[in-house]
Amino acid sequence: MLTFEEQRKAQRLYCRWFAKNPKSKNPTDVNNRAKYEFAMQIGWVSLALMLQARKSNTKVNGYPYPWTKPEYWVDYPNNGVVAPKREVQA
């Protein structure tokens, strides 16, 4: 599981991604130009953190990171700058 700081960073990265690409499902699956450019912009360490959060968001772990899914961001303002008001799990 991620530390609180890692959760906040990963959540901000997902926020940035879904603000720019609201119809995309998985930014860590680098299979198109937009995902590739985002990965290059944030770097491998940040992309790996996002991937770790996404892979940890499973039934076995109790789905601790709902913000890895696009559905979480549907009602969030499309600005990608302000941190979400929803709290991450400590």
**What's the confidence (pLDDT) of residue 88?**
52
Q: Which of 1-5, 34-38, 43-47, 86-90 has the lowest mean pLDDT?
A: 86-90
In the predicted structure, residue 83 carries a pLDDT above the cut 70: no
The alpha carbon dihedral of 23, 15, 78, 17 has a sign of negative
Mean pLDDT on 17-46: 89
pTM across the whole model: 0.78
Give 21-40 as a DSSP string.
-TT-S-TTS--SHHHHHHHH
In the predicted structure, residue 65 carries a pLDDT above the cut 50: yes
Give tens-digit pLDDT for 15-27. Answer: 999 888 888 888 8
